[in-house]
Amino acid sequence: MFSQLFPDVLWVPLLLCIPTLHAAKCPQECVCDQIQLTVTCVNKNLTQVPPTVDEITVKLDLRGNDIQELPTGAFRHTPYLTYLSLQRCNIRRVKEGAFRGLGRLVFLNLANNNIDILYQESFDGLSSLKQLMIDRNRVEEIQPGAFTQLGFLNLLSLTHNQLVYIPNLAFQGLQNIKWLRLSHNSLNYLDTEAFAGLFTLTRLSLDHNELQFFPTETMTRLPEVTRLELSYNPMTYLGEDAVSMAKLTHLFLDHMSLQDLANTAVSKCPNLILLDISHNQLRVIQPFSEGSPSLARLNLAGNPIYCNCYLRPLREWAIRSKVKLMGTCGGPAHLSGESLEAIHPPELRCQSQEAMLKAEFEEATRITPPPTEEPQNKVKCPANCVCEAETHHSSCENRGHTKVPRGFSPDTRLLDLRGNHFHYISSNSFPGVTQVVSLHLQRCKIVEVEGEAFSGMKGLIYLYLSENDLTSLSPDAFKGLPQLTYLHLEKNRFSSFPKGAFKLVPSLLALHMENNAITRLEPDILNSAEGLRALYLTGNAIEHVSPRALDHASDLDTLHLGGNKLKEVPTEALSKAQNLRDLRLSGNSIRWVGPNTFQPLHRTLKELYLDNMGLEKMSQNSLAGLGQGLRSLFLEGNQLEEVPDLHPLKSLEVINLADNPLMCDCPLLPLRMWIEKVNLKVRATCANPPEVRGRRVKDVHIFKACPGGNSLRTVPTVTPKPPKAPKATKPKPMHLNGFRQLKMFRAKSKLRKSPNTKQGAAKTTTTKPTKKRSMA
């Protein structure tokens, strides 16, 4: 009777289950676990999201593929996902609505891709998302409304991108955000309402950017922030009431260029516990004003603090207020190196009237005028530019200038001229601006810099010539820049290293030449830059490094050679860099690392990056000599079946062996035994033999049959349980408790049993035991 009244209803369960049957097939390139409801398709050169992933999959790992673009509805067949990993997929664009239908997703990782714009509806549909990682992309623009659908997001990470500016309401919609990470960008300006609406934010990371002054007005829009990280920004001073954040407890302003600090700079932060202003250029600091927060710690380490009578008020204030002063004296000679905490106030004195006057004169000429001075009513400013007297910033960005404007105030400290059309910089282009600390000339189509172009800029520390059309530099291009410390020449058209161009820059510490077209490193490239500490050459086309290339690099601390065309490690050249601590060779085509390759660096090397090179084999002695010093070793994304003995690496803190086709057999026993002995998280997974594929090296027991392997501990917590028939609801994620989903699952089970089963033929259903499916 029912079938006669509703003849089509009988087909409903079948129609619901047929797509599920097709989706239940494990994609050929992937490894599927139906018990854990996970699908792993890592490093399979996939160009799209596999359409045959099981509908009830909870975790999908697509790292290391070549997807390039995520189209609208890319995941519409997997609505129950809670975890999605898309790192290193060469993704350039996320189209509007790409994640629609993923209302249960809580974790999304898009790190290490090539995304440059976050569009208005890129993340629509992710209503439950809690963590979003977009680190190490090329993001330079956030369109309005990009995050409006992410009301439950707790963590947003946008580190290592190309952001230079945050517009008003950029993060609108993040109603539950706790931590916003914007470290390692190129941010130099934040609109007043950039963080408006983030009423739950408690931690903000803005370190390693290009902020020249503290964004006071912007930060007052963050009422709940307790931790603010602004380290490694080129700020030179902190003015009166600069920081006004009622709940702030930890403020990090270390490794900047601070030369002066107003005694009321943090007076409107009543809960401040820690103020870190270490590694700046502070020589004298006044005690904080009455009503300032009761600090517990004030970190002054790494500053050239002169411990004479000028410091006595601060020391007395610290004792009276029970504030711990961290750091040491930089002078005079008899107190040099003494802990600030260990010095008694009576010891802080000026030896004579003559010495005091001399010290006062030195301070007056060394330290910039206090920011508490009343600014002049008017400030000189060229036409079609914007100049701010209070911050000493002048900007003519994107104004179409064809010649460098003149007539800036002599007090200017930041001069932003990016995005104009200068084509060449003539001699003496910047007269009368001797106090400029940071000069921005990015994207100005510059093809030539004439000799003495920057003459007279005695205070310049940061010079940005990135993204121009430079192919060479004259020997006296940088003449007259005695304080130049950081020089950016990345994204130009250099085909050879501009040897000899830095001989007149005695203070140069960091040189950025990433993403040029340099093919060789000739002998003595640093002959005129002996004091250089960091050289960045990532993303060039370097095929050869002369054995004498680094002959004058005795102070070199950091060398980045990733993303080039090297076929071997340039050991002989590296042997001349006796103080090298950070070496990065990622992304080269190095297939073999021979014995004693890094032996010349055994005293100093701390960080070694050999990832994503296609590395096939390493000599057992390839890391010889690095045992006492090496702290980080990155070998992920290679073709290693075995790894050298890691037992000698006593100081290792971080190691990554992920995404290597490790052969879990007796030759790998030393690695297995080492993993058991160290207290480190080691990402190492077996690829062969087939019966242990996809399992962690430390969890397989095949090594116990090897000579010497009987001492290995058994780890019962990770031993797979014997298969047994689960309950009907076992494969279903915990959050799928609705009646409709349960009914669909039972229908699917019946259908697998007999395609002709009718609805209601059986009142109870027993699911067959699920098995782990793996297909090559």
Q: How far is CA 524 from CA 471, 547, 730, in A?
A: 19, 10, 67
Rounded to whole angstroms, how far apart are CA atoms 615 and 583?
16
- Residue 761 has a pLDDT of 38
- Residue 667 preceded by cis peptide, ω within 30: no
Contact (CB, 8 A) for 145 and 169: no
- Residue 714 has a pLDDT of 63
Rounded to whole angstroms, how far apart are CA atoms 7 and 1?
10
Contact (CB, 8 A) for 143 and 166: no
Rounded to whole angstroms, how far apart are CA atoms 469 and 517?
12
**Whether the predicted pLDDT of 12 surpasses 60:** no
For the residues of 515-549, what is the DSSP string, one character each? SS---EE-TTTTTT-TT--EEE-TTS---EE-TTT
For the residues of 550-573, what is the DSSP string, one character each? TTT-TT--EEE-TTS--SS--HHH
- Residue 715 has a pLDDT of 54
| Least confident range of 254-258, 331-335, 580-584 | 331-335
The angle at the Cα of 521, spanning 516 to 526, to the nearest 5 degrees, equals 100
Contact (CB, 8 A) for 239 and 268: no
Encoded tokens for 224: 């709940």
The amino acid at residue 643 is V
Domains of the chain: 209-331 (3.80.10.10)
Q: Provide the terminal-to-terminal Cα distance of the chain, rounded to the nearest Å.
A: 50
Q: How far is CA 134 from CA 60, 107, 605, in A?
A: 17, 12, 30
- Residue 745 has a pLDDT of 42
Average pLDDT of the chain is: 84
The amino acid at residue 368 is T
Percent of the chain with pLDDT over 90: 50
- Residue 679 has a pLDDT of 72
Question: What's the whole-number mean pLDDT along residues 698-718?
Answer: 74
pLDDT band at 357 (very low <50, low <70, confident <90, very high): low
Contact (CB, 8 A) for 610 and 644: no
- Residue 655 has a pLDDT of 86
Question: What's the whole-number mean pLDDT along residues 579-597?
Answer: 93
Contact (CB, 8 A) for 330 and 308: no
**Whether the predicted pLDDT of 374 surpasses 50:** no
Which range is most confident: 324-338, 395-409, 714-728? 395-409
Rounded to whole angstroms, how far apart are CA atoms 286 and 291?
15
Contact (CB, 8 A) for 574 and 556: no
The angle at the Cα of 587, spanning 586 to 588, to the nearest 5 degrees, equals 100
Encoded tokens for 209: 């950017």
pLDDT band at 600 (very low <50, low <70, confident <90, very high): very high
Number of C-beta neighbours around residue 269 at 10 A: 22
Encoded tokens for 606: 């701390």
- Give 70-96 pLDDT, tens digit per residue: 999 999 999 999 999 999 999 999 988
Q: How far is CA 102 from CA 57, 68, 82, in A?
A: 12, 20, 8
**Whether the predicted pLDDT of 249 surpasses 90:** yes
Question: What's the whole-number mean pLDDT along residues 603-621?
Answer: 92
- Give 491-513 pLDDT, tens digit per residue: 999 999 998 888 888 888 889 99
